[in-house]
Amino acid sequence: MMAGSPRILVIKLRYLGDVLLTSPVFDALRSRFPQAVLAAVVNKGTEDMLTGHPAVNQIFTVERAPNFWSDLQKQLRLIREIRKFRFDVVLELTNNDRGAVLAYTSGAKRRLGYKKKKENFLLQSILFTDLIEVENNLHIAKKNLEMAKALECSLPNIKPVLYWKMQDQAACQQVLKNNDISEDVPYVVLHPSSSALHKAWTVECYAALCGYLRDRWAVRTILISGKDPEELRQNQEICALAKSYPLNLGGQLSLKQTAALLSKAKLFIGIDSGPMHMATAVNTPVVAIFGPSRAWRWGPLGDGHVVIQKDWACVPCGKKGCEGSGKSRCLDELSLEEVTAILEPKLKSILSEQDGLSGNKSV
């Protein structure tokens, strides 16, 4: 048991959504240790999922280099920077070798990691002082919190939280204004694209979905994505196919501006992704279109969200496409009608007041 003001480091070297789903861990730690110094180590480019969080005092970023020696030098500099803080405890949530080495080299006397079924070559028993055993069927947010439980933390709501500044909100509003979308215009945000094609529904269906949203519900559709060329290509193809003139903001917003955009949306529709978790964090209803991914592990957290996924015996397989193809039949054969049948009651609930335009986000 720890007392006083411990220094606790949390390591999560994954993607945007993974990092955002660690935010409840910091809430739990802050509640248990109000005077603690709490820090995070995350991959460069994901830190905005935690910046501004009142429970996080410091964020270190891991930046990869293209060759071995440059990468080694960067990691050694990071280790020296971390060791200066003299952490008492490390929670390694990544469950990989790089995270395990960072935990060990941090200098912390107590180092917690997940217990694996088989000992790997780095020897868990050497790198960690505590190995936490968790159930296999937990949502990743609940799995993260099992580590906090090991420090005798009571567990808060597992839904993630996200913070941004007024200037981010203002910048987002200006982008909308520049595209003739005033504050009273209802809109739905779509995140349809991914460089991992096995996670993406077809561009033809997304284009038709944009038309359905305009013609049936009189709402604007706004497309978002990262700056990856494949994601941008998919968004552009959707816009070229759609006859409803969706607004394509792919690659144009910062992560914090995206959070502000999502916070005012009537609904988020999209793939298993970081923006999907961002939408749940800002209390916007989510309709997530899943293919081979395990919704019980990666689905949207909180009340009122929906996952659309084929009810096939092979789903979810957790693989990157059928038979190594990189494409998923469970998404390619998901029809527009199947999706709109689920969307219809959700949108009716959300847009139920006068003229079909409601400011109520609850579902």
pLDDT reported for residue 166:
96
Gap between the Cα atoms of 53 and 293, Å rounded: 29
Q: 166-356 in CATH: which number?
A: 3.40.50.2000
Identify the helix (H) or strand (E) that includes residue 143. helix 140-149
Whole-model pTM: value is 0.92
CATH superfamily of 7-149: Glycogen Phosphorylase B; (3.40.50.2000)
Report CA torsion sign: 121, 118, 293, 287.
Answer: negative
* pLDDT tens-digit map of 200-235: 999 999 999 999 999 999 999 999 999 999 999 999
- What is the per-residue pLDDT for 363? 25
Measured distance CA(40)–CA(62) in Å, rounded:
11
Q: Which of 206, 186, 172, 359 is nearest to 283 (CA)?
A: 359
Model confidence pLDDT, tens digit, residues 29-60: 999 999 999 999 999 999 999 999 999 999 99
Nearest Cα to 34, choosing from 57, 54, 5?
5
Q: Does the fold of domain 166-356 match that of domain 7-149?
A: yes
- Long-range pairs for 307-310: beta carbons < 8 A, 24 or more residues apart: 308/334, 308/338, 308/339, 308/342, 310/334
Cα distance between residue 309 and residue 165, in whole Å: 35
**Structure token digits, residue 342:** 């689920």
Enumerate the domain spans of the chain.
7-149, 166-356
Q: How many CA atoms lie within 13 A of 53 on its CB side?
A: 29
Q: Side chain identity at 325, as an amino acid letter?
A: S
Which residue from 354, 346, 171 is spatially nearest to 257, judged by alpha carbons? 171
- Which of 282, 200, 210 shows the shortest CA–CA distance to 246? 210
Q: Convert the pLDDT of each residue in 300-349 to its tens digit.
A: 998 889 999 999 999 999 999 998 888 999 999 999 999 999 999 999 99
- φ, ψ of residue 222 to 5 degrees: the values are -120, 125
Mean per-residue pLDDT, 171-188 = 93
Give the pLDDT mean for 79-99.
Answer: 95
